Amino acid sequence: MVQRNCMRMTERARALGVGLRPHVKTHKTLEGARLQVAADAGPVTVSTLAEARHLAVSGFRDLTWAVPLAPAKLARAGELVDAGVRLGLLVDHPAALAEVEAFAAARGVRAPVWLEVDCGGARSGVDPASNHAVELATRIAGSPQLELRGLLTHAGHAYAVSGLEAMRRVSHEERDAVVELARRLEQEGVPVPEVSVGSTPTMVAADDLTGVTEMRPGNYVFFDAFQVAVGSASLADVAFTVAASVIGLHPERGAFVLDAGALALSKDPGPVHVEPGCGFGIVLDPDTGVPLRDVRLVSLSQEHGVARVGSGFDWGRLRLGSLMRVVPNHSCLAAALFDSYHLLRGGEVIGSWRPIRGW
Pairing of the two strands 323-328 and 242-250: antiparallel
Concatenated DSSP letters of 80-146: HHHTT-EEEEEE-SHHHHHHHHHHHHHHT-PEEEEEEE-SSS-SSSB-TTSHHHHHHHHHHHH-TTE
CA distance 146 to 142: 8
The fourth-level CATH superfamily of domain 235-353 is D-serine dehydratase-like domain (2.40.37.20)
Four-point Cα dihedral 120, 64, 100, 131, nearest 10: -30
pLDDT band at 9 (very low <50, low <70, confident <90, very high): very high
pLDDT computed for residue 216 by the predictor: 98
Q: What is the pLDDT of residues 134-183, one digit of tens each?
A: 999 999 999 999 999 999 999 999 999 999 999 999 999 999 999 999 99
- Asked whether residue 224 carries a pLDDT value surpassing 80, the answer given is yes
CA distance 195 to 357: 30
- Asked whether residue 5 carries a pLDDT value surpassing 90, the answer given is yes
CA distance 151 to 129: 13
End-to-end CA distance of the chain: 28
Residue type, 72: A
- Asked whether residue 289 carries a pLDDT value surpassing 90, the answer given is no
pLDDT computed for residue 39 by the predictor: 78
CA angle 295, 296, 300 (to 5 degrees): 135
pLDDT computed for residue 41 by the predictor: 78
CATH topology of domain 2-221: TIM Barrel (3.20.20)
Locate all alpha helices (DSSP H) within the chain, ordered by sequence: 2-16, 30-37, 49-57, 74-82, 94-107, 131-142, 164-187, 200-205, 225-230, 262-265, 331-335
**Do residues 341 and 353 touch, judged by C-beta distance below 8 A?**
yes
- For 280, which DSSP code? T
pLDDT computed for residue 80 by the predictor: 95
pLDDT computed for residue 288 by the predictor: 86
- Asked whether residue 12 carries a pLDDT value surpassing 80, the answer given is yes
- Distances from the Cα of 294 to the Cαs of 179, 264, 272, 291, 297, in angstroms? 46, 22, 17, 9, 10
Q: Where are the domains of the chain?
A: 2-221, 235-353
H helix or E strand, kind and range, residue 64: strand 62-68
pLDDT computed for residue 312 by the predictor: 87
- Asked whether residue 115 carries a pLDDT value surpassing 80, the answer given is yes
